[in-house]
Homo-oligomer: A and B are copies of this chain.
Amino acid sequence: MILFATFRGLPPHRKAFAFLKYFAPILEWGPKYKFTEFKFDLLAGITIASMAIPQGISYARLAGLPPIIGLYSSFVPPLIYAVFGSSKNVAIGTVGAASLLLQSIIQQAVLPANDAKLYMNLFFTAAFFTGVFQTAMGIFRLGFLVDFLSRSTITGFMGGTAILIILQQLKGMLGMQHFTDKTDVVSVIHAVFHYRADWQWQSFVVGLIFLTFLLGTRHLKKKVPRLFWVSAISPLVVVILGGLLAFLVKGDEHGIPIVGTLNKGLNPISIGDLVFTSPYLSYAVKAGLIAGFIALAEGIAVGRSLGLLKNEQVDGNKEMIAFGLMNIGGSFTSCYLTTAPFSKSAVNFHAGSKTAMSNVIQAIIIMLVLLFLAPLFKYTPLVALAAIIIVAMIGLIEFEEMYHLFKVDKFDFCVCMVAFFGVSFLSMFKGLLISVGLSLIRALIHVARPTTSKLGKLDVSEMYRDIEQYPEAQSQPGILILKLGSPIYFANATYLRERISRWVEEELSSNKNGSDLQYIIFDMGGVTSIDSSGLGMFHEVRMIMSQKGIKMALSNPRLEVVGKLVSSKFIEMISAEWVFLSIKDAVSSCNFALQELRTGPEHV
């Protein structure tokens, strides 16, 4: 592994400690931890814990899980992250989109109504695979794969998911008992009207009041950014006020359904509950990988963008290992998938969190809630949860970003819309798949069809530039100068060979006297690497050129490329004298040789 190189030269016990510190940054910052930092972390920790309670309960319900699982998931994973995580800004918790994605996949295996225990165990199993997958991605340094989930894909996916989730909340807002398990817009809207006999006006009135309150605090945050904490604690206020109301008026008997029993006590161990038997295993793996990938993309992006504001670098591969360990640990202790949600992390950041200690504080508060207060949350009205989720989801629909994409890049906008409508009308999985596919194809076009250009000399400055870009650039008689501007490997070698032949054909046919072209110079400055197909391409081109009596020269190749060209005997074939430091040198040599060729016979 590459990272061991960093520790080379240290004595064994210091090497071991350096290694531990690398994987568990708490060993780095823990010993130096100061009380002044603790004050900030305490405040931030309390704030995010106040978000964790309503969010944990809401998203667990979104996933079709018992609400207590949401609280469990806000206790163990933040502790594990505090040990292994390298970002000082993110807050750990459950997320809405991944919860719904997990639900939509795991419900294909079993419905909670049929076997609630198995359904729950599949969530733990999925979290386990998420963890293994994330850890493996980190260890094998595959973090770059996350970059292929483009911004436009994520915007569309999140927007479509948010629309879906908001529509689903009509169940809670209207106090309905019956609903659909399906997760597409048409089925959900159909269900809302199909079961309209269920509608309860009391729920709806209470819901509207909560919604207005939450939207009000959200508006306040936008106007007066330093009051962000009002908006952060407002969901907890809604839960408490709603609970009081439901308790006082016996809501469940008067059209305001409540969450129902929550037991006291910490997370039960769930290692033995993981399901590794067919046919369930494949669903758990699928759910774990896909939701894990999405969660990773969100978590890494959040860490990076908050880090950027403080000008701190986040090591994506190390973060993945932290997320992975946290999910594996979670799956052993009755937690489902967690990551660093954007909203919660932003609050943590603005509340002034200095280290991952704020996640420890969050965990301790949730622990106290689990030990002493959990049963009180039984009175939480479902409509309060619905209102909380709706407001959280509104924040995920980025109309401005979509408009920006539309203005700047139509293809990006298409990808975004495909994800948006794919998620809301087909299925979350298909929408995501199609738009990732589109992004990928677009990325691959760049790889497979690199730009090559013909260079000419600018008289004023003796520089060589692309003739298409600078029409005043003069091509040199008898010499064709081509700039190859990318790594050369299997994905583009065939294309490049054909493109080069075409340049040569054009050059030959543009001269009335075809035999004029004597030299072809490749500007190799941009060729950062080459593989066996690329080497094969050079040999083929040399063969074709020598048939036409054209001599090849290279200018400014990079060391590693020269090394491979030497070992494949290419340099030997064109002879080392024909490798130059600059185009200018190459052109001089060619001109000199041309001169000799032309004047030679006269001297005889």
Interface on A for B, CB 8 Å cutoff? 142, 144-145, 147-148, 150-152, 304, 308, 311, 313, 404-405, 408-409, 411-412, 439, 441-451, 458, 461, 463, 465-466, 469, 485-487, 489-495, 497-498, 501-502, 525-526, 528-529, 531-533, 535-536, 540, 544, 547, 556, 558-559, 564, 567-568, 581-582, 584-585
A569 to chain B, nearest CB (A): 11
* Chain B residues, Cβ within 8 Å of A408: 532, 535, 564, 567-568
Given contacts A150-B491, A447-B443, contact A313 B533 (CB under 8 A): no
The CA of A96 and the CA of B152, in the complex, are separated in Å by 43
The residue that A443 contacts in the complex, of B444, B449, B461, B558, with Cβ under 8 A, is B444
The CA of A567 and the CA of B409, in the complex, are separated in Å by 11
Across the interface, do B487 and A144 meet the contact criterion of CB distance under 8 Å? no
The CA of A531 and the CA of B485, in the complex, are separated in Å by 18
A461 to chain B, nearest CB (A): 6
Across the interface, do A444 and B495 meet the contact criterion of CB distance under 8 Å? no
* Chain B residues, Cβ within 8 Å of A409: 531-532
Across the interface, do B581 and A463 meet the contact criterion of CB distance under 8 Å? yes
Across the interface, do A151 and B532 meet the contact criterion of CB distance under 8 Å? yes
Across the interface, do A559 and B441 meet the contact criterion of CB distance under 8 Å? no
What are 13 A-B contacts defined by CB distance under 8 Å?
A145-B441, A147-B448, A148-B448, A150-B490, A151-B532, A152-B532, A313-B502, A439-B490, A461-B582, A461-B584, A485-B486, A485-B528, A526-B526
Across the interface, do B529 and A490 meet the contact criterion of CB distance under 8 Å? no
The residue that A412 contacts in the complex, of B465, B497, B531, with Cβ under 8 A, is B531
The residue that A491 contacts in the complex, of B148, B404, B490, with Cβ under 8 A, is B148
Q: A148-B448, A439-B490 are in contact. List 12 more A-B contacts (CB 8 A).
A: A144-B491, A144-B495, A145-B441, A147-B490, A147-B494, A304-B498, A313-B502, A404-B532, A446-B447, A461-B581, A469-B558, A526-B526
Across the interface, do A144 and B445 meet the contact criterion of CB distance under 8 Å? yes
* Chain B residues, Cβ within 8 Å of A502: 313
Across the interface, do B531 and A489 meet the contact criterion of CB distance under 8 Å? no
* Chain B residues, Cβ within 8 Å of A445: 144
Question: How many copies of this chain does one complex carry?
Answer: 2
For the complex of A and B, 5 pairs with smallest distance between CB atoms: A144-B448, A150-B490, A451-B528, A409-B532, A408-B532
Name the residue of chain B whose CB is nearest to the CB of A557: B469
The residue that A489 contacts in the complex, of B304, B443, B584, with Cβ under 8 A, is B443
The residue that A529 contacts in the complex, of B446, B531, B582, with Cβ under 8 A, is B446
The CA of A533 and the CA of B581, in the complex, are separated in Å by 34
The CA of A450 and the CA of B413, in the complex, are separated in Å by 25
* Chain B residues, Cβ within 8 Å of A540: 308
Interface centre among A493, A494, A529 (most CB of B within 10 A): A494
Across the interface, do B559 and A469 meet the contact criterion of CB distance under 8 Å? yes
Across the interface, do A501 and B313 meet the contact criterion of CB distance under 8 Å? yes
Across the interface, do B465 and A556 meet the contact criterion of CB distance under 8 Å? yes
Interface centre among A463, A492, A540 (most CB of B within 10 A): A463
Name the residue of chain B whose CB is nearest to the CB of A548: B311
The CA of A220 and the CA of B384, in the complex, are separated in Å by 85
The CA of A308 and the CA of B536, in the complex, are separated in Å by 13
* Chain B residues, Cβ within 8 Å of A529: 446, 451
Across the interface, do A466 and B532 meet the contact criterion of CB distance under 8 Å? no
Across the interface, do A147 and B495 meet the contact criterion of CB distance under 8 Å? yes
Name the residue of chain B whose CB is nearest to the CB of A583: B463
Interface centre among A445, A525, A544, A556 (most CB of B within 10 A): A525
* Chain B residues, Cβ within 8 Å of A311: 501, 544, 547
The residue that A304 contacts in the complex, of B411, B487, B494, with Cβ under 8 A, is B494
